[in-house]
Structure 1
Amino acid sequence: MDNDQGGREGGEGRVPRGLSLEQAQNIRRDRQLEDLTTRMDELMRMMQQGMHGNRRSQSPSPVHHPRHRQPPRDDDRGLRLDLPDFDGAMKPEKFLEWLQRMERVFDYKDYDDAKRFKVAILKLTGYASLWYENLKNKRRKDGKPSLHSWEKLKTRMKKRFLPSDFTQDMFRKLQVLQQNTLSVEEYVVEFEKINMLCDVDEKAEHKIARFIAGLDKKLAKKVDLQPYWSFEEVVQVAMRAEKYVKAKKASTFKPFVKQGEKPYSGAKKEEGMHLLLSLISLKG
């Protein structure tokens, strides 16, 4: 019996521990089936590839060009970039404001000088448009080349729409500017606006000195007592001083009322006048 079992084990291979001979044979058979299935799949795949290869050799394959994704366009959607018109009104501050607005949009759009010129002449209306057409016709009659430069157009527009003494007048106005009845905020706006119109290039300490000199005297004294290192800090100090002065005035103004009495109202005063008139008429 033992010899027969040993012979079967020798013919079929070793039986793993814990398994009977029949179980071991079933496992081996399953593995063999899996190997056969895998080989059959490989053969079928090779045959299919061979068929596709023959088809490709018979008919030309289409050429596929890779698609390049276009970068998103920056078309300024949702951003208002309206350029203002200029009608040629003789208001120097409005004209300079128009120039500054045009320059900011041109810089944002990154237009070159020639394109800036083309866009600018489209925004000329009224008298400004007539002036440009006259300038263009005069240059043609004189045999001069047409204008195609924004910088050259600006130069000619400044000569026409800015008075020759405009900058000088702004300097004079800056020298005598006083706060007077203006609030500190209103005074700062006016001071800065005139500075920019004059295009003043000066040291920070000179600008600060002119600003303080134009402040209300009480505020100027308080500002001088505070530390500051820049024009912006001086402005903040002046605004705080103004709030302090206003708060102090409000707290010191109180109507005189005796203890236990209510303030004398307008109605009470009117009633007292009626009583006085009545007494006078009775005596008469």
Structure 2
Amino acid sequence: MIIVTGATGLLGRQIVERLLTRVPADRVGVSVRDPQKAQAFADQGIRVRQGSFTDADSLAHAFEGASQVLIVSVDKMGEEAVRQHRAAIDAAAAAGARRILYTSHMGAGASSHFEPCRDHAATEEALRASGVPFTSLRNGFYAASAVQFAGHGVESGDIVLPADGPVSWTAHADLADAAAAVLADEGRFDGPTPPLTAGQALTFDDIARIAAEITGRTVTRTTAPDDAFCRELVGRGVPAQAADQLLGVFTAGRAGEFAAVDPTLATLLGREPLSMAAVLRKQLSGSSVR
């Protein structure tokens, strides 16, 4: 049985939906914190069990009978994130899974300027130490993050953000399709995959231009000093530590950590990945990107 964690989240839900187009529902199980939110999956014949990365006993039950376990990374940072990922890895190994898969990041590295990328690198080390064959899906930076950063600026006509570098912003829908393809073709990748990216690396100057083309309005890009960006976030109620972590996206971008463009995602999809223009167009029309 293929077990997917975090199946009620934005990425996990779409992975399960895509997986159902490739394998029968009775070969799929999900591990979720709140099974009631996964009732739609249960109605389709998917095994739904409660599982929490902070409760080893619940994971043992949720992962029972697993042939593969896909660990969708948590929305935490730092040691807490790595601790939870290690708990899931240990549980998958104890359940006898033949392979553990993990949603990592294209920028995973111990010296990254962006803390989650350091967390991903530490988790990949834990996967290597587990003794279980693993696949680390080196996902491109979520395009949804670019939309969040640029959103207010697109509305106001001025995207005000720190200096950045090119990023291969990649749609959740495409990464979900890729994860489903890899799960259905067990062992296709051993260890970290190549970067799973969209076809272009774009700066926020590029995104401002694309937004202007879509809306027919003037959208400019203004560079904010790093400290001013953090002060503004703190002024809006964001904790200072979280503001510094968000700044890391731009610091890492300037260092070229997210600039790689690779054809692997397109090969997995059998088509070109969604462009940033398509993602923005869907967002601005009020539709979800599918």
- Report the TM range for the smaller structure's normalisation: under 0.3
Which structure is higher in helix share? 1
Could you state the TM-score of these two structures normalised by the residue count of structure 2? Answer: 0.19
Could you state the TM-score of these two structures normalised by the residue count of structure 1? Answer: 0.20
Which structure is higher in strand share? 2
Ranked by relative contact order (alpha carbons within 8 Å, sequence separation 6 or more), the top structure is: 2
